[in-house]
Amino acid sequence: MGSVLKKVPLHPFLLALYPMLYLLSVNIDQVDPAVAFRSLFIPFAGVTALLLVFALLSKSWRKAALAASLWVVVVYLLFFFLYVPLYHAVEKMVIGGINVGRHRILLGGILLLLALAAWFILRIRKDVSIPTSIINLVAVVLILLPVFQIVSYQIRSQTLAAPPALVEMDQSALSLPEGKTPPDVYYIILDMYTRQDVLQDFFEYDNTEFLKFLEEKGFEVAACSQSNYTITQYSLSSSLNYEYLQTLGYGVDDPEIVRAIDQSRVRRSLEELGYKTVAFESGYSITELRDADVYLSPFGNLWNGLLYGGVNSFEAMVLQNSAGKLLYEAKPNLSRKYQTILDTPYIQYRERIDFTLQELETVARIPGPKFVFAHILAPHDPFVFDRDGNFIYRETPFTLNNDKEYTAETYVAGYRDELMYLNTRVENVVAAILEQSSTPPIIILQGDHGAPRSKEIDGYSAILNAYHLPDGGAEGLPPTITPVNTFRWILNEYFGGTYPLLQDIPYVVDLDAGAYVQYPGYPCSAAR
C-alpha cells in the first residue's frame, strides 16, 4: 500500500470526488446514492481531462497530478466556499478604470493564476515522490470518512429486518373480521397540513367547505388533533408503530429511527394478515417503501430518473451549496430550455405529487386487501401549485424546508393557494376510492405536523386528522386524538386488537438539545 501511495498519483481523483461524497454522506438518510452518480462522474471526468493535458505538457504523471490537484482544491474551495463572499467583496472594486467585480474578470483572473501555478509545478525538476505519497495519504483519509458513512448506512439499511425495539414489543393478537371482506386501509399523509383553527387564525382561510365535504362522505374530523412530533420522520415513525419514540428506545440522534417507517408494526401486522402494501415515490427517501408489493413511481425507477433531462435533487443541493447559485441569479436571462433544466427538481417534485393524487383515484382496483401508504409533500413548501393547479416557477435552487425563502406574506399566500388546490384533488381521491371500493374502506387523511410559519402562534403541532371508519368505527373517537393512537384505535376496532389508548402528548423535537420537549401546542378553538 505504501509503495502505491508513493508511486501512483491517486490524489486528484480522490480530491475531486470528496466534496460530492461528503455532501452525500451528511444527507444519506434523505438521498439515494444513485442520484449522485452524475455529480460524481462529472468531476471525475474533468480531473481526468486535466491530468491528461498536464501530463502531455510535463511528461510526468506525478507532476501532472500535483498540478491537477491544485486546480481541484482551488476550484472546489472557490466554488463551494469562497466564490460568493469573494465576489461580494470585490463587486464594486475598480482598478485602472476596470470593474474587477464582474464575473468574467474575476473568474478570468482566478483561472490565469491557476494556470501560472500549474506551469510552475510542471517545471519543477526535483523528484516529487514524497509530495505524491503525502497528498495521496491525506486524500485517502479524507475520502474514507464519507465512504465509510455511506457504506455503513447502506449495510444497516439492507441487513436490519426491523428495528429491534419494535420486534421486542408485546404484540396484541390480531385477526381478520369474521364473515366480512377485510377493508382496504389508506394512510394518506398530507405533509404540513394544519388544523382548521390555525388556518383561520394565521392563514386567514376558512376550511369549512372541505371539512364539510369529508363529513358528508362519512369522515370524522378530530377537530383538536395535534401531531406527536414536529418533524416528519419522527412523527411517522411514531404513528406507524403506535408508540412514543421514547418508549421504543429511540433518541433524537438515533440513525435507525427511519427504519421504523420502512419496517413498521402497522405494515408488518397487516401483511401478516394477508394485506398487500401499496406505496408511492414521494421524493423524500425515508418515506419511500421501495420493497412494497406495489411501488408506484412517475419515473419508472431511479436510474431512469437519471436520464431525466435536467438537474436532479442532489445536483440542486450541490448548486445550493456552491457558486452554482450564480446560475439561478442568471436564470431570468437564460433561454427557456436552460431554465427548464434548472427547474427540473421543481418539475419532478410537482409530478410526484400530481402522480400520487392521480393514482390514488385508481388504486382501489388492485385486487385483494391493501394497505396503501401515500406521503404527499403538499401543502409543504416549496409551493409549486397555485390555487388553480398551475405550476409555479421559482428562481431559487430547489430544496425542501426552504420557508425562509418566503416573506411572511408570500408564505401565507403560497401555502393557502396550494392547500386550496390540494383540497380539490383530495376530494376527487376520496370520491374515487369510495366509489370503486367493494367493501367500505378505512381512510386516514392526516398531517404529519403543522406549518412552520404557524410557530409564531405556537401551532406547529396542530394538524388535519380525519378518519373514514365504516360500520360505526368512529363512534366515541376523541376530538383530541393524536397520530400515536390512530392505529391503536383502528386495530382495536377492525382487527381484534386490545391496545389501550395512550395519553395524547405533542412534543417538539429539539435537535440541538437532543431531546423531545413536551409543549401545550395551540389552544383548540373547538374547545374554547
Q: 243 burial class (0-12, 13-18, 19+ CB within 10 angstroms)? A: buried
Residue 179's pLDDT is what?
A: 81
Residue 528's pLDDT is what?
A: 45
Q: Where are the beta strands (DSSP E) in 304-343?
A: none
Residue 161's pLDDT is what?
A: 47
Instruction: Find, among 396, 400, 406, 395, the residue nearest to 375 by Cα.
Output: 400
CB 295 within 8 A of CB 355: no
Residue 251's pLDDT is what?
A: 87
The whole-angstrom separation of Cα 328 and Cα 266 is: 43
Start-end of CATH 3.40.720.10 domains in the chain: 185-527
CB 375 within 8 A of CB 287: yes
**What tens-digit pLDDT sequence spans the chain (528 residues)?**
455 555 567 777 787 788 788 878 777 766 667 677 777 777 888 778 877 877 777 777 777 777 777 767 777 666 665 555 666 666 666 666 666 656 566 666 666 666 666 566 666 666 666 777 777 788 888 888 888 888 877 776 555 445 555 544 555 688 888 888 999 999 999 999 999 999 998 899 999 999 999 999 999 999 999 999 999 999 999 999 999 999 988 888 787 788 889 889 999 999 999 999 999 999 888 899 989 999 999 876 544 454 555 666 677 667 666 666 666 665 555 555 556 666 778 888 899 999 999 999 999 999 999 999 999 999 999 999 999 999 987 777 677 766 667 888 889 999 999 999 999 999 999 999 999 999 999 999 999 999 876 556 667 899 999 999 999 999 999 999 999 999 999 999 999 999 999 999 999 888 888 899 998 888 887 654
Q: Which residues make Cβ contacts (< 8 Å) with residue 104, sequence separation at least 6?
A: none
Residue 309's pLDDT is what?
A: 54
Residue 465's pLDDT is what?
A: 98
Q: How far is CA 397 from the centre of its chain?
A: 15
Residue 138's pLDDT is what?
A: 81
Residue 190 grid cell: 398530507
Q: Find the helix or strand (DSSP H, E) in which 306 lies.
A: helix 302-306
CB 522 within 8 A of CB 459: yes
Q: What dihedral do alpha carbons 218, 176, 356, 315 form, nearest 10°?
A: 140
The whole-angstrom separation of Cα 262 and Cα 166 is: 12
Omega within 30 of 0 (cis) for the link into 345: no
Task: Locate all alpha helices (DSSP H) within 333-448, ordered by sequence.
Answer: 336-360, 408-436
CB 442 within 8 A of CB 186: yes
Residue 143's pLDDT is what?
A: 83
Q: Identify any residues that bridge with 221 across adjacent strands, giving them in sequence order.
A: 466
User: 3-state SS of the chain: helix, strand, coil percent to 5?
Assistant: 55, 10, 35
Residue 30 grid cell: 434523505
Residue 421's pLDDT is what?
A: 98
Residues composing the chain: 528
The whole-angstrom separation of Cα 181 and Cα 4 is: 67
The whole-angstrom separation of Cα 139 and Cα 77 is: 15
pTM of this structure: 0.77
Instruction: Find, among 100, 202, 153, 140, the residue nearest to 457 by Cα.
Output: 202
Q: Residue 107 CB: number of other CB atoms within 10 A?
A: 15
Residue type, 435: E
Q: Which residues make Cβ contacts (< 8 Å) with residue 477, sequence separation at least 6?
A: 220, 222, 467, 469, 489
CB 73 within 8 A of CB 64: no
Superfamily name and number for 185-527: Alkaline Phosphatase, subunit A (3.40.720.10)
Omega within 30 of 0 (cis) for the link into 382: yes
The whole-angstrom separation of Cα 214 and Cα 249 is: 37
CB 454 within 8 A of CB 462: yes
Cα distances from 469 to residues 443, 474, 477, in angstroms, run 7, 6, 10
Per-residue b or e along 7-16, where b marks 16 or more CB atoms closer than 10 Å to that residue's CB: eebbbbbbbb
Residue 116's pLDDT is what?
A: 65
Instruction: Find, among 8, 467, 29, 388, the residue nearest to 211 by Cα.
Output: 467
The whole-angstrom separation of Cα 133 and Cα 10 is: 9
Task: Locate all alpha helices (DSSP H) within 160-195, ordered by sequence.
Answer: 164-168
Residue 312's pLDDT is what?
A: 67
Omega within 30 of 0 (cis) for the link into 379: yes
Instruction: Find, among 427, 380, 448, 450, the residue nearest to 209 by Cα.
Output: 427
Instruction: Find, among 91, 230, 257, the residue nearest to 165 by Cα.
Output: 257
Residue 398's pLDDT is what?
A: 73
Give helix 313-320 / helix 11-25 axis angle, nearest 10°. Answer: 100
